[in-house]
Amino acid sequence: MKKRVDNSTTTNTTSAVSRRKFLGGAAAGTAAAASLAFPAIAKAQTQTNFRFQSTWPTVDIFHEFALDFAKKINDMTGGELRIEVLPAGAVVPAFGLLDAVSKGTLDGGHGVLGYNYGKQNALALFSSGPAFGMDANQILAWHKYGGGKELLAKLYESIGGNVVSFLSGPMPTQPFGWFKNPITKPEDLKGLKFRTNGLAIDLFTEMGAAVNALPGGEIVPALDRGLLDGAEFNNASSDRALGFTDVSKVCMLQSFHQSSETFEIIFNKDKYNALPTQLKAIIDNAVEASSADMSWKAVDRYSQDYIRLKEDGVRFYKTPDSILQQQLVVWDKIVAEKAKTNPLFDEIEKSQRAFAQRALSWDMDTNNNRRMAYNHYFGKKRAAG
């Protein structure tokens, strides 16, 4: 009798292996088929291009600040949002920026609130006057945490401004101005043809000057032609680049007319609102990054150009305390008059006052006297013995 061979184990094992190969092959085939049926689709990146204009000439460091801001946006978004910045006058005059952005002729711009003073004089409270003694960085603190941002949005809404506004870049105290001769007393301003902007127009007019508001690029030509007897713009770097030393060698330092000004970056509201949430967040953070960078660059560049101005033969004088005190007295009068007829002006002024009272009390009690330290290290040393 032939012995029966039991192939059941072999057959079962072979069947299991075959089945696994089949299922594995089927799975691979299915995956391949799926791959063919549903190919991987790369997410298309759309690029949004915004055309900005600054209110500054190309040579001014302020235009450089505007370019720095745009570069941060362009870099941080990886090109998804690209901002091109043109200089003042490329599309509209400097004082026409707000209207151009509001209408959508430009997508945005870089300037100062004082240039919009004619639209609503309360706008200039963000950039003109003594601000109760606050510096520009404290104004930015009030703007972000003390209600200023909401008040500014309310102001723009009241005049139909179709813009989204960001304040950035604290400026140091601006010089009283450039003159033919030093200004030694308040009476020296009587009849003086003088350039300034914002609420400083009202301040110097009340002090007796004949004021003319001009954008930065037009000031030196006006001084050269005798249309102005004196003028202020902003800082050592800007003033040197704009050519003030060609028409004057006298610069008066310190003033309350613009001791806390900041830059303003504006976007057309419709264009801004159409941006994805992520890009809006990048803009918000880029504004603050630019604000810090501007203030640091200003310390570096302004201090260098301050030395260069002295080498160019400029004589610097501290504005007499009698003039500074008179500025404060006149300012109080202007503010009281404007508040009577402009409720928003009154609301903003009171908000700033409340913030300044506590911020300055803390600041003055906390921070050191820098003059004492400077004199110790860099002042003239007395001979020993």
* 3 state SS for 75-96: HHCCCCEEEEEECCCCCCCHHH
DSSP H or E segment with residue 363: helix 343-366
Q: Rounded to an integer, what distance in angstroms lies between the CA atom of residue 331 and that of residue 139?
A: 18
Is 233 annotated in a binding site? The answer is yes
Task: Identify whether the C-beta of residue 130 lies closer than 8 Å to the C-beta of residue 147.
Answer: no
Contact between 234 and 75 under an 8 Å Cβ cutoff? The reply is: no
For residue 311, the tally of other CB atoms under 10 A from its CB is: 7
The DSSP symbol for 128 reads S
Residue 208 CB neighbour total at 10 angstroms: 15
Residue 174 assigned to a binding site? yes
On whether 304 is known to bind a ligand per the annotation, the reply is no
Residue 194 counted as an annotated binding residue:
no
Contact (Cβ atoms closer than 8 angstroms) between residue 124 and residue 348: no
53 annotated as ligand-binding: no
Separation CA 271–CA 281 (nearest Å): 15
Tokens, residue 186? 């308040």
CB 185 within 8 A of CB 323: yes
**What residue numbers does the annotated binding site cover?**
174, 195, 232-233, 258
**What residue numbers does the annotated binding site for Na(+) cover?**
233
**What residue numbers does the annotated binding site for substrate cover?**
174, 195, 232, 258
